[in-house]
Amino acid sequence: MIGNIYDVVVKTATGEDKPLSKYAGKVLLIVNVASYCGYTPQYKGLEALNEKYKQAGLQVLGFPCNDFGAQEPGSNQEIKQFCESLYGVSFELFDKVKALGATKHPLYEKLTQLAPSKEDVAWNFEKFLISKKGQVVGRFKSGVSPESPELITAIEKELAK
């Protein structure tokens, strides 16, 4: 079906293919993350959203990305260890992706194509809210924190559908 992200296959942090169709029926918050960014403390808020809303059907998905200021240089294992030990992250972290350029990951091709605003991702911790049907229903710039009322309202609205 055109108009959703379910035909995209991503790699887990351990290198296995995972079709996003596995998340059908869930509300997703997809975030390009980095360990050495001014926005890195958002991991704490993302984990709080994950904990608060996972029983209601939200899944936060983190995609490490080194495109912006080379702020994610580590291996998948280093990234996972960093996130767990410093921020208590339990949400799923995936293989490192490219969000920009000629080698942009198909996920980011699809997200930017389906989002209301079609421009490239501008920086780390940009958030895409995905409906239970796999459609992009919200896009939030890096400066919109996980605790932001506009993001929480949008998540709760999607979960209620």
> What contacts 149, CB < 8 A, 6 or more positions away?
none
Which residue(s) pair with 97 in the sheet?
Answer: 65
Residue 37 bears catalytic tag: yes
Amino acid letter for position 38: G
- What is the total residue count of the chain? 161
Catalytic residue among 27, 37, 61, 83: 37
> Measuring CA to CA, how many Å separate 49 from each of 42, 61, 140, 145, 147?
11, 11, 15, 11, 8
Amino acid letter for position 152: I
Supply the residues annotated as catalytic: 37
